[in-house]
Amino acid sequence: MARRRGSVPSLVMTRTPLRVSFCGGGTDLPAFYECSHGAVLSTAIDKYIYVTVKKHGEVFRERIRLNYSQSEQVQNIDEIQNEIARECLKFVKIDPPIYISTVGDMPASTGLGGSSSFAVGLLNALHAYRGERVSAGQLAEEASYIEIERLNQPIGKQDQYAAAFGGLNLFCFKPGGGVTVEPQRLANGTLSKLFKNLLAFWTGHQRDASSVLTEQKANTISKMDALLQMREHAYRLQKLLGNGHCDLQAFGSLLDEGWRLKRQLASTISTTEIDAWYDQAKQAGALGGKLCGAGGGGFLVFLVGPGRQGAVRQALASLREVKVGPEAHGSQILFLE
């Protein structure tokens, strides 16, 4: 892995975490924070997007090869169908030939911020490929610019910042687009206790967030009271976690109240099936929970005390449980040669 000082690498691999957002999701959208600042409390988790970048071999007919859930072999960057890959290559000013491969621990469109993690991880790899060192803040802002400005996605900035910084953070989104990052340093094993009581279930439904977020954006003014309450939940949860012990009942109540508010923001955030699963978990003893991401599918996450976890698992036996833990680091370079 050692390289000559000043030399440009021939191969780079990055690892970038996915995230679970607890409170405040939706207030990171420009339609909200340009009116009143947003706040989101979220954590990076130990599920990742891996990106490999290397110079493509000279004997191949194509100058650019991309491998993800599909495979692309093209001659010019403008021909690339994967929008994030195309715009990242143009933004960092990469000259072909180049090979890019990506694989994730989770499927796409699962509500864990995978698209933004890919953007952050690819940008990190491309900068390293050019011999450049960049900060987490720069990665987050560049990924936000590409997704929101260049690709006109109706999304916010929380996913890019969670992927770039890692850890448990309170993100504040200011009018004008500025973002402050407040890492949460928890004492007395609070974070470990939290994750021991956090259960995540895969609904089996993948959904593009754009349609949900487009409706939510249009509803921002009419749903301002709900969004203000959701922002307040982020601050309440920050205070709750910072007091040195984890009050599971209070934490669960905030999740539950936040989910019921979030369901009001757009008509496609939940479904009859998702509502039924949520109610079954609550009846079995879950203290509270939420659907991760924009809505319509993805992961259901519940806070469940030790004595009721078996009952909740049984109630949701038709769903696949996925173990998740905390991840302290943001996007990292795993290999450089």
Average pLDDT for runs of 10 along the chain of length 337: 57 98 94 94 98 95 96 98 98 96 92 96 97 97 97 94 98 97 89 95 82 80 94 96 86 96 89 96 98 87 97 97 97 94
Delimit the CATH 3.30.70.890 region(s) of the chain.
190-322
pLDDT value at position 81? 98
pLDDT value at position 195? 96
Fold of 190-322: Alpha-Beta Plaits (3.30.70)
Give me the residue label for tokens 């990171």.
28
pLDDT value at position 7? 64
Delimit the CATH 3.30.230.10 region(s) of the chain.
11-186+327-336
pLDDT value at position 296? 80
pLDDT value at position 2? 41
Strands in the chain per DSSP E: 11-23, 38-54, 64-67, 71-74, 98-104, 168-173, 179-183, 198-202, 288-291, 299-303, 320-322, 332-336
Q: CATH number of the domain at 11-186+327-336, out of 3.20.20.80, 3.10.20.30, 3.90.199.10, 3.30.230.10?
A: 3.30.230.10
Calpha distance 324→311 (Å, rounded): 19
For the full predicted model, state whether its pTM sits above 0.75.
yes
**Residues pairing with 16 in the sheet:** 49
User: Exposed, middle or buried: residue 91 (CB in 10 Å: 0-12, 13-18, 19+)?
Assistant: middle
**What residues contact 231, with CB distance under 8 A and at least 6 apart?**
24, 27, 36, 37, 38, 39
pLDDT value at position 5? 46
